[in-house]
Amino acid sequence: MSTRSTDSARPRRQALSAEGISKTFGNSASAHRVLRDVDLRIEPGEFVCIVGPSGAGKTTLLRALSGLAVPSTGTVRLGDRVVTEPQAEIGVVFQDYRGSLMPWMRVCDNVAFPLEGRGVPRRERRSRAEEALTSVGLADVGRKYPWQLSGGMQQRVAIARGLAYESSILVMDEPFGSVDAQTRFELEDLTLALRARFGITIIVVTHDIDEAVYLSDRVVVLSGKPATVVETVDVGLGGERDQLLTRAEPEFTRLRTHILGRIRGDGAPERATKVESAALGSE
Ligand code: ADP
C-alpha cells in the first residue's frame, strides 16, 4: 500500500467542513431534532474523534460528513464542493464487520468490490486490494473467506477496503466496538500507523473517551438535545502514542476528565473514573 503508484493515486487532500448543519427526523407532526447548528472543520491529515452520550447524534453527524445522509439545514463541504452524496475521497468503516463484509466473497474480493463500481480495471482492483491488505498486516489471507478470520482480522479487512478505495479521508463509526480489549488496542495503533504512513484524514466516532484522547489531535464533544458541538478539545500529547505510557500521562487524565465533564454538562469534575466514562456510552 505504500507503493508510489498507490500514494500518487490518492486524491488531493482537502478540508472537510460542516457549516451550521442541523438534522431532524420525522415529519412536522412528530419531528425529532437530533443535531442543531453544528459547525466543524477538519483539516487534511488530522485525526479527529467525535464523542458524546449515546443517542446524541454522533452517527448522524458522521453520515452527514461522509455524504451518506443529507442534513436538514446547513452544508457539508469537501474543499469547495458541497457534499450531498458519497464521495470517492471518503472511505467509510462501520462498527460491525459482520454486517459490512460479504460472507460469500473471498477477502480479496471484499476489499476490491467497491472499486468495481468506480470502473477500476480488474487487474488494478486486485493489486490495490492486495496492497491494502498488506498495509493492515493481512498479506496472506486474500484467498480466505471473512468467516474464517477472527473478529479483529475482519475489521482489518474492513479498514483495508476503505484504504483500497484510495480515499484521502477515512470515516469510522465505532470501529473497534465489536472486538476484545487487546484487539481494540492493536486496531487503534494500526489506525494511527496508517494515518502516519499515508497522511490521510481520519474521523472516528466513539463513545469511549479514553480511546478518543488516545487517538486524536482534536476531540469534538457533542452534547445537548438536540446536540451541538459544546467544545473542540486540542490533544497536546504529541505525535507518538503508546498504549501504556500515553494513558499514564497526567495530561491524558486531565483531558479525559475535562471531556467527561463537558459531556455531562457540569464543567470539569474533580474526579472521573473509567467506569463513569464507559457507562456514558452504554447502550
Ligand atoms: P449516536 O451515534 O450518538 O448514538 P445516532 O446518531 O445514532 O446517535 O442517533 C441519534 C438519534 O437520532 C437517536 O435518537 C436515533 O434514534 C435517531 N435516529 C437516527 N437515525 C434515524 C433515522 N434514520 N430515523 C429516525 N431517527 C433516527
pLDDT tens-digit readout, 220-259 = 999 888 889 999 999 999 889 999 999 999 999 999 999 9
Distance 60 CA to ligand 1 centre (A): 6
Fill in the amino acid letter for 209. Answer: I
Looking only at the bridges linking them, the beta strands covering 228-234 and 81-82 are unpaired
Cα dist from 141 to 1, 74, 109, 151, 275, whole Å: 16, 43, 11, 14, 37
Tens digits of residue pLDDT in 121-156: 888 889 889 988 988 888 899 999 999 998 888 988
- Most confident option among 48-52, 86-90, 196-200: 48-52
Say what the pLDDT of residue 11 is.
62
- How many whole angstroms separate alpha carbon 129 and alpha carbon 183? 23
- Percent of the chain residues past pLDDT 70, beyond the cut: 89
pLDDT of residue 171: 93
CA of 58 to the centre of ligand 1 (A): 8
> Sorting pLDDT into bands at 50, 70 and 90, what band is 55?
confident
Nearest to 92 by CA among 24, 163, 182: 163
For ligand 1, atom 13, which residue shows the shortest CA distance?
A: 55
Give the residue among 44, 45, 25 at the shortest CA–CA distance from 34: 25
Give the pLDDT score at 9.
54
* Any ligand 1 atom below 6 A from CB of 59: yes
Q: Which CATH superfamily is domain 3-89+173-237 in?
A: P-loop containing nucleotide triphosphate hydrolases (3.40.50.300)
The pLDDT value given to residue 272: 39
- Residue ranges matching CATH 3.40.50.300 in the chain: 3-89+173-237
Q: Is the CB of 87 under 6 A from ligand 1?
A: no
Separation between Cα atoms, residue 277 and residue 192, nearest integer Å: 22
Q: What is the position in ligand 1's atom list of the atom closest to the CA of 205?
A: 2
Rounded mean pLDDT of 98-124?
87
DSSP per-residue string spanning 117-137: HTT--HHHHHHHHHHHHHHTT
Higher per-residue confidence, 53 vs 265: 53
| Probe target for ligand 1 pocket from 21, 30, 59, 205, with the most ligand atoms within 8 Å of CB | 59
Q: Is 17 in the pocket of ligand 1 (CB under 6 A)?
A: no
Question: Contact at 8 Å (CB) between 242 and 73?
Answer: no
Q: What's the chain's average pLDDT?
A: 85
Say yes or no to pLDDT of 275 above 60. no
Which residues, 6 or more positions from 119, have their beta carbon under 8 angstroms from its beta carbon? none
Q: What is the DSSP letter of 165?
A: T
How distant is the alpha carbon of residue 280 from its chain centre?
19
What percent of the chain lies above the pLDDT cut of 90? Answer: 49
Atom number, ligand 1, closest to the C-alpha of residue 52: 3
The rounded Å distance from CA 191 to ligand 1 centre is: 26
Which numbered atom of ligand 1 lies nearest the CA of 56? 3
Q: What are phi and psi of 19, to 5 degrees?
A: -120, 100
pLDDT for the residue 26? 84
d(CA 120, CA 113): 10
Distance in Å, CA 35 to ligand 1 centroid? 10
- Measured in Å, residue 233 CA sits from the centre of ligand 1 at 24
Beta carbon of 55 within 6 Å of any ligand 1 atom: yes
Whole-prediction pTM:
0.86
